[in-house]
Amino acid sequence: MSQLRHALALGWVGAALLMGMAQAQTAQKPSFYRARQQSPLASSQGQKPADPTPFLARIDSRAAFDRMARVHDAGSAFELPHLIFVIDRHHHDQVYYVNTRRYDLHEQFINGLRLTNDTSRAALAANYRQPDRRFLFGTLSWQPRLDRWTFEFWEGDQLTAGLLSTAQSRLQATFFAPLVFKTNANQHLAAAQEAGIKAVTQEQILQDQPFLPLNVGVARGRLRLIDSVDATPDIEPDDIVVLREVPLSLPPVAGVLTVRASTVLSHVNLLAKGWGIPNAFVRDAFGQLATLNGQWVELRVTRSDYAVRVVDRPTQAPRVEAPFVPVPTLTRLGLTPLRQLRVRDKVHCGAKAARLGELAAAFDARQPKGIAPVPDGFCIPFAHYAEFIRSHAVAQRIAQAEQTPGFDTDVSVRRPVLEALRHDLAQLPFDTPHAAAWKAQWQAHWQGALGQAGVFVRSSSNSEDLPRFSGAGLYATVPNVKDADGLTRAVQSVWASVFSPEAYEARRHARIPHDRVVMAVLVQRAVDAHSAGVMLTRDPFDATHRDTTMITAKRGLGGRVVEGKLVAEQVLYNRRDKAVQVLTRSAEDTALRLDAQGGVKEVPIEPQARAVLSDELVARLAQAGELVKRTLGGADQDIEWAINGQGQVVILQSRPFVDRARLKPVPAPRAALLR
């Protein structure tokens, strides 16, 4: 019986697959830096050595390797056997293949054998930092997906071409099979190129990975195989969806599997974090789960596998704890320049604009090196939107939509009604005396440059960027508006996006009353980004890695990163160790740039330009992220950034990173009724 048939016979579909992202490949690189923060992930517990031999000077066979090796994810279909090695450069480059079942870390081994009398932290650090170090500390593994042996070093190791050449020569002379060097950082790749040593990158190992856990967890719901979210109007909150393509946005669901790898920090993935639902990439999910389509199942996503089993339909849906929605101020009609906004002003301009104003003032005062001032702009307050909603024509259209038979109970009825409502509200003639003030403020802000300097017209509601509800990607942004009439149309489009099906369903699922939602608009100077992306001030896979920043990037404007349709360049940076791990390079062959006539245009990317981030730029972005985090109170941040024509970091937005699995209960929401 095949593995799949056996799993089906047991009521489960799934596989013990390769550890998510870089966990199995890079998280276990032994070093005393990691040991200070946590115990090694690949513990030797349960894998006692067959004999007390502390090391071998040579490995002459697979059997000899197995005597010394520890196995990560032992017993799974993709276990990773590995051992650590030490090369003593003061004793003729002696190689020690360490009994890794006995010694978890290199320093435990050298201390246990008393190879050195200096066991201070400084001496140990020198073996990772200094070119004249005494010891080389590395790991040797059997890579089942590559069908070859590799050797590698911890990602923070300041490896040089000379040290790498020594390691390659001595290991190959004492190991029974051919070895290839595996890079874990840009510096490692540069050392290999300088030394003329063939290397395999982290990206090459990950690119054919059949499974990627994006958010671990367990959910129960109706399994649905969906070719297109846009063509499926009846997606319900208790659906577990298997998606053939990654959508820009998604209504609330119970769980997500995609058959196309996407960017870790895409809007859909961040929404899944905020909803606290399991989310994973499974390359063959459509084939593996076809027989379960339409059935009620339990989906379980862990770091190393996923599984699906048939269950009974629940009799009662779980209750979702509502977020706190700030009470809006609807009496303030004046337009507020961005640099005058502070966090407290979220009551009339929304959290997005208010937080960005706080950052603008802080950056202007500190003038941090390499970070550009926040692009200038102004806020159109909640009160203008409230007048729009209360106008007779708008109120009438909303009332008609809500009175449609089946609107309250049937999502397949609600979705087309909302789509029509949004379209009508965006196109509805609306004679407001405020429109002249918007245009005048624009002209005053950019010294009469109307028609020359473009602006982005962005949402800033009271129902996004909340501690328990990010609202990522739910509301409209109109890019590079360059004429006066276009500004009015763009503001109205942002207002109308309150009634987009995705936004409406997300608020409904979160128990946010729709008649308590108000929308401010941030009008902000456009940045023609050379590259852009999203940054998270923590490791999205493991919250214990407090010194890690996750950065995703693509060439051009940042919309391609958050939509997640093609994989972005993805980098992990350890701020303590200054280690850069490139997980993937960008898969895009085009980039979005500002069009001189307004809007955006697509331009081709030369193949050699797909690499987006240098190590220096990664470090600078991480530094900027920490400054943003400190300025906004110390909570981890989900940050949209760009690099301008002068090579400076530009912060475009920062919201609290919402991970529902780590949230604590809060009081029920309260807000003022609009109508």
For residues 424 and 393, what is the distance between their CA atoms, to the nearest angstrom?
A: 10
Per the structure, the complete domain to which residue 469 belongs is given by 336-522
- pTM equals 0.74
CATH code, 561? 3.30.470.20
Q: Mean pLDDT for the chain? A: 83
For residues 383 and 674, what is the distance between their CA atoms, to the nearest angstrom?
A: 10
Least confident of 294-308, 322-336, 374-388: 322-336
Within a 10 A sphere around the Cβ of 386, how many other Cβ atoms? 18
611, 605 contact by CB (below 8 A): no
pLDDT for 610: 64
For residues 380 and 426, what is the distance between their CA atoms, to the nearest angstrom?
A: 17
Residues 185 and 131 in one domain: yes
Kindly state whether residue 650 falls inside one of the protein's structural domains.
no
Residues 377 and 480 in one domain: yes
Kindly state whether residue 455 falls inside one of the protein's structural domains.
yes
Least confident of 371-375, 398-402, 432-436, 494-498: 432-436
H or E element that contains 363:
helix 346-366
Kindly state whether residue 269 falls inside one of the protein's structural domains.
yes
Q: Which of 548, 494, 519 is CA-nearest to residue 381? A: 519
The 10s digit of each residue's pLDDT in 198-245 is 999 877 776 667 888 888 899 999 999 999 888 888 888 899 999 988
Q: Which of 581, 662, 663, 658 is CA-nearest to residue 622? A: 581
Angle at 421 between CA 419 and CA 423, to 5 degrees: 70
Q: Which of 390, 419, 385 is CA-nearest to residue 404? A: 419
Cα 541–chain centre separation: 9
Kindly state whether residue 303 falls inside one of the protein's structural domains.
yes
pLDDT for 303: 78
Kindly state whether residue 134 falls inside one of the protein's structural domains.
yes
Positive or negative, the CA dihedral 323, 326, 330, 336 is: negative
For residues 405 and 422, what is the distance between their CA atoms, to the nearest angstrom?
A: 18
Average pLDDT, stretch 405-432? 91
Q: Inter-axis angle of helices 382-390 and 484-496, to 10 degrees?
A: 80
- The residue that leads in pLDDT, 50 or 474, is 474
The 10s digit of each residue's pLDDT in 170-185 is 999 999 999 999 998 8
Kindly state whether residue 231 falls inside one of the protein's structural domains.
yes
Domain end position, chosen among 522, 546, 564: 522
Tokens found for residue 40: 């090694």
Angle at 487 between CA 421 and CA 520, to 5 degrees: 65
For residues 479 and 496, what is the distance between their CA atoms, to the nearest angstrom?
A: 16
CATH code, 426? 3.30.1490.20
Residues 360 and 456 in one domain: yes
For residues 540 and 549, what is the distance between their CA atoms, to the nearest angstrom?
A: 9
Residues 555 and 604 in one domain: yes
Assign residue 565 a region (left: φ > 0; alpha: ψ between -120 and 50; beta: otherwise).
Answer: alpha
Residues 306 and 263 in one domain: yes
For residues 271 and 274, what is the distance between their CA atoms, to the nearest angstrom?
A: 5
pLDDT for 71: 86
Residues 87 and 169 in one domain: yes
Tokens found for residue 295: 């059935």
Within a 10 A sphere around the Cβ of 394, how many other Cβ atoms? 19
For residues 545 and 37, what is the distance between their CA atoms, to the nearest angstrom?
A: 8
Q: How many structural domains is the chain composed of?
A: 4
* Residue 43 confidence (pLDDT) above 80: no
At 522, the pLDDT band (50, 70, 90 cuts) reads: very high
Burial class of residue 346, CB neighbours in 10 A (0-12, 13-18, 19+): buried
Average pLDDT, stretch 289-303? 93
For residues 107 and 125, what is the distance between their CA atoms, to the nearest angstrom?
A: 10
222, 308 contact by CB (below 8 A): no
371, 643 contact by CB (below 8 A): no
pLDDT for 560: 60
50, 100 contact by CB (below 8 A): no
pLDDT for 40: 38
Strands 217-226 and 296-301: antiparallel
Residues 24 and 166 in one domain: yes
Domain end position, chosen among 500, 522, 544: 522
Residues 551 and 627 in one domain: yes
- The residue that leads in pLDDT, 666 or 537, is 537
Residues 514 and 459 in one domain: yes
Kindly state whether residue 295 falls inside one of the protein's structural domains.
yes
Identity of the highest mean pLDDT range in 322-331, 517-526, 584-593: 517-526
> Which residue, chain included where needed, has tokens 């949230």?
663
> Which residue, chain included where needed, has tokens 């965006």?
426
- The residue that leads in pLDDT, 50 or 548, is 548
35, 84 contact by CB (below 8 A): no
Phi, psi values for residue 128, rounded to 5°? -110, -20
Residues 545 and 488 in one domain: no
Kindly state whether residue 292 falls inside one of the protein's structural domains.
yes
pLDDT for 37: 41
Within a 10 A sphere around the Cβ of 92, how many other Cβ atoms? 8
CATH code, 253? 3.50.30.10
For residues 674 and 385, what is the distance between their CA atoms, to the nearest angstrom?
A: 10
Give the percent of the chain with pLDDT over 70: 84
* Amino acid in position 156: G
Residues 122 and 222 in one domain: no
At 319, the pLDDT band (50, 70, 90 cuts) reads: low
Task: Give every CB contact of residue 174 below 8 A, 6+ residues apart in sequence.
Answer: 57, 58, 59, 95, 97
At 589, the pLDDT band (50, 70, 90 cuts) reads: confident
Q: Which of 488, 465, 492 is CA-nearest to residue 476? A: 492
* Amino acid in position 336: T
Residues 364 and 488 in one domain: yes
Q: Sheet harboring 579-584: ordered strands across?
A: 579-584, 569-574, 548-555, 531-536, 637-643, 649-656
